[in-house]
Chain A
Amino acid sequence: MTVTSPRSHGLPKTLIACMAFVSGFCIMTIEMLGARILSPYFGGSLSVWGSIITIFMLALSVGYLIGGRLSTRHPSARTYAVFFILAALFSLPLILLADAIMEPIFLTIVDPRYGSLVASVLLFFIPTAILGMISPYSVRLMVDSSEHSGHMAGVLFFVSTIGSAIGTLGTSFYFVLWFEVNQILWGAIVALLLAGAIVLVADQIVSTRTSSKHYDKQARKRPS
């Protein structure tokens, strides 16, 4: 017995997989840069890494929950694109407001463990949570039938985690050697904005195509 739930939006599966890759890549790129952003104020001790990883994990878990919830009602490519665009916009404070956010924390919280924890919440929680929403939402967009849902989820976790692995390696091995921290962050922001734009354009193409097919069918029907 299979319960079918037609993919009303009709985005190509490969495209969704690519988007999941981009989000996985950007999550880890930002996370790896987190230590560099925080170290001028809170140092490079183990607890600073602890703060960053804790907040990323919490933000992702909240993101998964919200993203999954949002996917149950009228999943659409447009909402999907909005995740990418919002994640990009909420990453801007990492570049524009990092010092303004960290300085008062440094001044009020003497213990660098809690200082770095609070700074991580303010800097990373929102963009990471939004990036987390992409995963369950991708699954929903890619699933045709509940029979294949596990398979599709597996494919998406595979692709986005590979993206994370490459983002981690690229950032820590090469990007920091070639670019400044803010340049890498701009790269991630532009990548997310592009991803959002691509989803919107693809959605436009797909919907015009389906509506023209629909129109063709109707046109063919009429003479008979």
Chain B
Amino acid sequence: MINKRVNVLPEFLLLLSLLLAWPAQAEVIHEEKSKYRDITVTEERGRRCLLFNVHRGDRNQTCMYVNDPDRLVFDYTQMSFAGLLLKPDPQSILVIGLGGGSIPMVFSQLYPEARIDVVEVDEAVVRVAEEFFDFAETDNMRAIVEDGRPFIKRAGLRGIKYDYIVLDAFSGDYIPEHMLTREFLEEVKAIMTEDSVLVANTFSTSRLYDHESVTYQRVFNEFYNFKLPTSGNRIIITQLQPLPPRGRLVTEAGRLADELRKFGVPLQDYPRRLSTRVDWDMSRRVLTDQYSPGNLLQAN
């Protein structure tokens, strides 16, 4: 019995040394435990990154070039601006999920006159974004510490509408299941006008991808499934009115491309990547408030 215990020690030490060695490639400049997660800020060759739950091997949440903070580092943050092809000049913008704040910061520069509401459930994330990622509230842009769902429900009851809505509250490791359901999407619809656009970035994979697609299809009839060959995730883009002909997307892309190039958004590549082709199992169940095991479906 005792011998057996001694035998596992080398493996344990190996594991421990691997765990300790892993983050050594990038310098950790800030670490804190928030109510929801471990937050780590790292910096390596001019690239500063926000990571959640490093020890569980989660990917970078958001990154910023320290010397060129306007340029968006990741495909998926760039892709969040594809909604501009449908709604080019938003006057009111809602972003659910702050991260490092790069999406709202770009919006704020593009449309300084627009009202921008950013909703983030974790106040520590707001603090870290302000301290390390140049995020700052302005007269028109405010960060609200609240769960996205009650915020949207209440906005709907008050009759508040947004032109451009980004759902970015999802990370690879945890899915807020109450923000995937048919009822939630109906509440999102209530804060949209005929020409508002919804951009959802949900990192869904495996079985959840099918369930999520079926749910969006049920609520919005059709949506653009936006994928890049270089990026693992897909972005859902949709609106209340029927989707426009591709020609209009190409025209808008040409018109806006220059403005967005500064932020590293290759807008002109996007129209041909916006697909309405069904590539999911349509027999999957719609996610509802009664049935939404998102995290279990993602794991399977």
Contacts and interface: CB of A to CB of B under 8 A. Distances in A.
Contact of B146 (A43, A107, A177): A43
A179 B293 CA distance: 10
B296 interface: yes
Given A181-B289, A181-B290, A46 B36 contact: yes
Given A45-B121, A181-B290, A182-B290, A39 B149 contact: yes
A188 to B, nearest CB: 15
B296 A177 contact: yes
Contacts of B184: 40
Interface stretch (B5-13, B61-69, B175-183, B272-280): B175-183
Contact of A40 (B36, B154, B178, B293): B178
A45 B293 contact: no
Contact of B149 (A36, A43, A107, A110): A43
Given A46-B35, A107-B157, A41 B150 contact: yes
Given A45-B121, A107-B157, A40 B290 contact: no
Nearest to A50: B35
Contacts of A110: 154
A161 to B, nearest CB: 25
Interface in B134-159: 146-150, 153-154, 157
Interface residues on B, range: 20 to 34
B121 A43 contact: yes
Interface in A69-101: none
A44 interface: yes
Contacts of A25: none
Nearest to B179: A44
Contact of A45 (B147, B290, B296): B147
B291 interface: yes
Interface string B3-42: 0000000000000000000000000000000011000000
A123 B30 CA distance: 42
A44 B97 CA distance: 13
Nearest to B291: A180
B33 to A, nearest CB: 13
Nearest to A40: B289
Contacts of B147: 42-45, 48, 112
Interface of B: 35-36, 121, 146-150, 153-154, 157, 176-178, 181, 183-184, 288-293, 296-297
Interface of A: 36, 39-46, 48, 106-107, 110, 112, 115, 173, 176-177, 179-182
